Amino acid sequence: MIFGSDNHAGASDKVLSAITAAYQGAAPAYGDDDYTRGGVESIAQAFGTEVSAFFVSSGTAANMLALSAMVDPWDGVVCHHQAHILLDESTGPSLFTGGAAMLPVPDRTVRMTPDQLDSMITRLPSDAPHNIRATTLSITQANECGQVYSVDEVRALSDMAKSHGLSVHMDGARFANAVAALGVHPSELTWKAGVDVFCLGASKNGAVAAEAIIFFDQSLAKDFSYRLKRTGHLTSKARLYGAQFSAWLADDHWLELARHANAQADALRTAVDDLEGVRSAWPCQSNESFMVFNKELFAALLEAGVSMYDWYPNALPEGTALADNEVLARMVTSFATTDEHIERFVETARGIGSRL
């Protein structure tokens, strides 16, 4: 009954075999090898365009390095109030960018709208050089509230950003889940919709540790290897990442894994509808679900071995609130979530409910 995070899962057999194969013989170091080149080529093919791409071991590193290539140290990055770069990367984005600040859109909704963005940027203090200068928009897809932005929504956000002179970053730690949910070509959700720099995560969806920083605007990749090196992210035996990405992208393996995770999330959400003491906090479209639990039920479920986390109360949209005996929780499914996990969760919850 593992719903704590998609990064609690193991790795897919295909990815593991690719790692073992890649380390059977010698290869040049620091990314000058065929595995790395193959990984980049796989990305170019999957997205249907030429790219500059680089690999790192964590999504936090990917985001921070990507942003460091996009902003000046006196700039700000506009993002959602629950963005990973704002809340879950400590003060790292500031370290890697030389000081840039994360600027959350103040409206507390589970997805950002172009109007919110417009209003926020328009009202931002902009007296140079005193105020922080907003120069980049970061969109998470699927986002931290389990939301998926449609092609039109991504494009509308990008267009609004660019009308204000901002470039566009996308945090795609769960991008596979978004593509699987929408059934569109990856290019439609990224460079064709105005995304300049894109972080594509494989770790949460079947890889061991593999994240790509993809420059659709290749001019921004200038000197990027220096950025990798001086942050300790230029791995010596770098083929680890390219090998994973090639195996992960081949034959739509990544989308197959994501479709499974999404389907299990749908099943979970459907099951919850019938349970006492728990309700959906808001509708979700990806492999993340947000639930409001009765506190006693929640505690009993944890005790019974369900892995899941209570969540930041600030994530609740404006105008919603928890009752005193309620707790907000996040439940995440993954490529490894089985039907049995969900069935056991439902049975456990029913059993506890009948005793409460």
Binding residues among 99-158 for a second copy as defined by CB under 8 A = 99-102, 106, 123-125, 128-133
Nearer Cβ to a second copy (62/161) = 62
Distance in Å, CB of 50 to a second copy, minimum: 22
Stretch that binds a second copy, among 87-95, 153-161, 287-295, 298-306 (CB under 8 A): 87-95
What residues numbered 211-270 form the site for a second copy, per CB under 8 A? 223, 225-237, 240
Distance in Å, CB of 19 to a second copy, minimum: 6
| Binding of a second copy by 9 (CB under 8 A) | yes
Distance in Å, CB of 338 to a second copy, minimum: 11
Residues binding a second copy: what is the number (CB under 8 A)? 80
Nearer Cβ to a second copy (87/184) = 87
What residues numbered 48-67 form the site for a second copy, per CB under 8 A? 56-62, 64-65
Q: What is the DSSP letter of 2?
A: B
Distance CA 323, CA 198 (A): 39
Distance in Å, CB of 171 to a second copy, minimum: 13
Distance in Å, CB of 307 to a second copy, minimum: 8
DSSP code string of 162-177: HHTT-EEEEEETTHHH
| Binding of a second copy by 320 (CB under 8 A) | no
Near a second copy by CB under 8 A: residue from 25, 323, 340, 354: 25
DSSP code string of 304-342: TT-B-EE--GGGSPTT----TTEEEEEEE--TT--HHHH
* Closest listed residue to residue 256, CA positions, set 197, 154, 177, 159: 177
What residues numbered 161-180 form the site for a second copy, per CB under 8 A? none
Measure the CA dihedral 80/85/91/93, to 10°.
-120
| Binding of a second copy by 208 (CB under 8 A) | yes
| Binding of a second copy by 94 (CB under 8 A) | yes
* Closest listed residue to residue 193, CA positions, set 177, 204, 174, 179: 179
Nearer Cβ to a second copy (154/234) = 234
* Closest listed residue to residue 332, CA positions, set 295, 298, 284, 293: 284
Beta strands (DSSP E) in the chain are 52-56, 75-79, 101-104, 133-140, 167-172, 197-201, 211-215, 278-280, 288-294, 309-310, 326-332
CA 158 to chain centre: 18
Distance in Å, CB of 10 to a second copy, minimum: 4
Stretch that binds a second copy, among 34-42, 139-147, 159-167, 202-210 (CB under 8 A): 202-210
**CB 314, CB 81: distance < 8 Å:** yes
Distance CA 222, CA 26 (A): 29
